[in-house]
């Protein structure tokens, strides 16, 4: 047989006479196909009704037990869900159905089960169905009215203002959760650090939101509408009381609903700094260098634009003016930098060092410390689901980029978001968007914001990743998708 791959599944399977006998579907050792008679019924319903209706009784079945007599007929009822047509009709687990609408039934092997269940599924919802069954020594005739089969799982919908996804509660999920009805929104995935995740208590997967701000929430559409009203009425994020159910518990929490507007990062007071990297002089390292018992910070790198006449790689700094550099353990890594921060930029200090084991003093001029990550401007795109920040001096040093390197550095990519699906990664440097150069996050924001109105089919980022450059294509869905009929 020809192999069936994702590219050629869905094509017709024909016999030697050229007749279509199935639709190629998948491969499991042998090629698998959907029978043509089943495909024909589905196609007809899609053409006529735009959806496929299935009947549902609430029963699950299995073949007759292996030690059953060869003369026994029927199919074994394995389970009956509460609140379903089968339960209302009085069907019980262990019953053996021998007739459906006066047609004999026999399911002795697993391979016979799909044909039987498919016959039930194709019954008209709402039309009474007569079944004949055996229960112990009794033979009973029961009538049940199948209902339209609901989706087993609702369509996930993203609620960016909550930092989560949610979906409607289907009939089967309501039964599994032992709920009386399908009202509410079932919580799906949560974004770490998002409003729903940071609430106390935090929302969890499979919690059911039943109200917010004192108003009932019966569906995802109702939650979206209530969220829009709350965000519009107040300055986001808006602390909102939320009632939800977790198992048998009925809990309350406060969620700060809304997308926090970008804020200028706080600027720390400018402190003294030297363009060098250091390591702690551990006791073992001091012994190996022939300066046993000494403490300090060993210079490992002179950063770009550093003073070549000052400190050198290999110098062991033991004092800054009169202050000892008491560093000998890994947790002392910040001791030297902390001493420097006590000075104002532009001031001078005398640094005592051991150079090749010989003590000497070096006068240095302290510079203004470069901005650290939490002082840089950040842009968060809630549509494409990623965050980026400005490039700092230390970013260029760490990655050995030229000092003229510009762009927006990706600091976070939400798993499963459009940026993630498109292939954007944390630490990518965005150089351009749709051919427009991006020199910082301000330009990135100016380029991306208009796209929320234009809603292009594709957004292309040109990024630097390591020493390579590449194009990242994103194809976002700008409109919330409707739940597909099943």
pLDDT in tens, 232-260: 866 778 999 999 999 999 999 999 998 87
Structure tokens at 165: 């996804």
Indicate the burial class of 87 (C-beta count within 10 angstroms; 0-12, 13-18, 19 or more): middle
Q: Buried b / exposed e across 99-118, counting CB within 10 Å, b at 16+?
A: bbeeeebebbeeeeeeebee
Say if residues 306 and 275 touch (Cβ distance below 8 Å). yes
Q: What is the pLDDT of residue 486?
A: 30
Using CA atoms, how far apart are residues 369 and 347, in angstroms rounded to an integer?
13
Domains identified in the chain and CATH numbers = 55-148 (2.30.42.10), 156-257 (2.30.42.10), 272-368 (2.30.42.10), 373-474 (2.30.42.60)
Please name every residue paired with 459 in a beta bridge, in sequence order, or none if there are none.
474
End-to-end CA distance of the chain: 31
Say if residues 306 and 287 touch (Cβ distance below 8 Å). no
Say if residues 336 and 278 touch (Cβ distance below 8 Å). yes
Using CA atoms, how far apart are residues 176 and 186, in angstroms rounded to an integer?
13
Q: What is the pLDDT of residue 483?
A: 38
Distances (CA, A) of 188 to 185, 203, 209, 219, 373: 9, 10, 11, 14, 32
Per residue of the chain (486 residues), what is the pLDDT tens digit?
A: 556 666 667 788 888 898 888 888 876 666 778 888 888 888 888 898 888 888 999 999 999 999 999 999 999 999 999 989 999 999 999 999 999 999 999 999 999 998 899 889 888 899 999 999 999 999 999 999 999 988 888 999 989 899 999 999 999 899 989 898 999 999 999 988 889 999 999 999 999 999 999 999 999 999 999 999 988 866 778 999 999 999 999 999 999 998 877 666 666 667 899 999 999 999 999 999 999 999 999 999 999 877 766 899 999 999 999 999 999 999 999 999 999 999 999 999 999 999 998 999 999 999 998 888 888 999 999 889 899 999 999 999 999 999 899 999 999 998 888 999 999 999 999 999 999 999 999 999 999 999 988 899 999 999 999 999 999 999 998 754 443 333
Using CA atoms, how far apart are residues 366 and 321, in angstroms rounded to an integer?
13
């Amino acid at each position: 047989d020809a192999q069936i791959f994702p590219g050629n599944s869905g094509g017709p399977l024909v016999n030697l006479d050229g007749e279509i006998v199935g639709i190629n579907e998948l491969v499991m050792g042998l090629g698998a196909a959907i029978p043509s008679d089943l495909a024909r019924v589905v196609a007809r319903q899609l053409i006529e009704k735009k959806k496929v209706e299935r009947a549902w009784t609430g029963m699950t079945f299995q073949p007759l037990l292996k030690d059953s007599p060869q003369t026994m007929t029927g199919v074994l009822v394995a389970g009956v869900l509460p609140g379903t047509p089968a339960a209302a009709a009085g069907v019980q687990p262990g019953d053996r159905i021998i007739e459906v609408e006066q047609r004999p039934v026999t399911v002795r092997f697993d391979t016979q089960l799909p044909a039987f269940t498919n016959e039930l599924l194709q019954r008209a919802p709402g039309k009474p169905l007569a079944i004949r069954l055996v229960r112990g020594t009794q033979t009973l005739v029961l009538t049940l009215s199948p209902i339209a089969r609901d989706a087993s799982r609702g369509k996930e919908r993203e609620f960016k203002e909550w930092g989560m996804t949610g979906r409607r509660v289907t009939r089967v999920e309501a039964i599994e959760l032992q709920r009386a009805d399908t009202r509410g929104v079932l919580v799906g995935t949560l974004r770490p650090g998002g409003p729903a995740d940071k609430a106390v208590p935090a929302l969890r997967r499979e919690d059911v939101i039943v109200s917010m701000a004192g108003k009932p929430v019966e569906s995802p559409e109702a939650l979206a509408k209530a969220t829009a009203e709350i965000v519009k009425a107040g300055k986001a994020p808006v602390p909102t009381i939320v009632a939800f159910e977790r198992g048998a518990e009925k809990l309350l929490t406060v969620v700060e609903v809304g997308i926090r507007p970008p804020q200028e990062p706080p600027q720390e007071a400018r402190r003294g700094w030297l363009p060098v990297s250091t390591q702690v002089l551990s006791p073992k390292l001091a012994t190996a260098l022939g300066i046993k018992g000494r403490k300090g910070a060993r210079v490992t790198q002179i950063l770009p634009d550093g003073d070549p006449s000052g400190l050198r790689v290999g110098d062991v700094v033991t004092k800054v003016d009169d202050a000892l550099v008491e560093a000998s353990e890994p947790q002392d890594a910040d001791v030297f930098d902390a001493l420097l921060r006590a000075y104002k930029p532009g001031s001078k200090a005398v640094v005592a060092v051991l150079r090749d084991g010989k003590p000497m003093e070096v006068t240095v001029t302290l510079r203004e410390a470069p901005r650290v990550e939490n002082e840089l401007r950040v842009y968060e795109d809630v549509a494409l689901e990623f965050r980026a920040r400005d490039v700092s001096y230390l970013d260029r040093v760490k990655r050995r980029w030229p000092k003229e390197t510009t762009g927006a550095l990706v600091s976070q990519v939400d798993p499963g978001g459009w940026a993630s699906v498109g292939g954007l990664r944390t630490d990518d440097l965005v150089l351009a968007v749709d051919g427009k150069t991006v020199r910082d996050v301000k330009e990135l924001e100016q380029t991306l914001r208009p796209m929320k109105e234009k809603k292009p089919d594709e957004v292309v980022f040109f990024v630097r990743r390591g020493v390579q450059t590449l194009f990242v294509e994103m194809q976002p869905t700008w409109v919330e998708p409707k739940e597909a009929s099943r």
